Amino acid sequence: MREKVEAALAKVRPMLQADGGDVELVNITPNGIVQVRLTGRCKTCPMAQQTLKSSVERIVLREVPKVKAVENVSE
């Protein structure tokens, strides 16, 4: 499943990088929660949570049906 999640993140990464940010996969929990870390400008952006849900999570859920949610972990 990790490879599928990485492939899904690769699809959203160019959009984030265009704004000076990025996303990295931290962990996938046994219950299907994908933990990511927003980096660069995304880390401090006031719209980061909205970007996470409307872009990152939407694409990951579409590409990897076993995933239940995507959450940002700060450290």
Pair 23, 37: CB distance under 8 Å: yes
Q: Using 50, 70 and 90 to split pLDDT, how confident is the model at 42? A: confident
7 alpha-carbon distance from chain centroid: 11
pLDDT tens, 49-63?
Answer: 898 999 999 999 999
Write down the pTM of the prediction: 0.90
Q: Which domains does the chain have, with CATH numbers?
A: 2-72 (3.30.300.130)
pLDDT of residue 59: 96
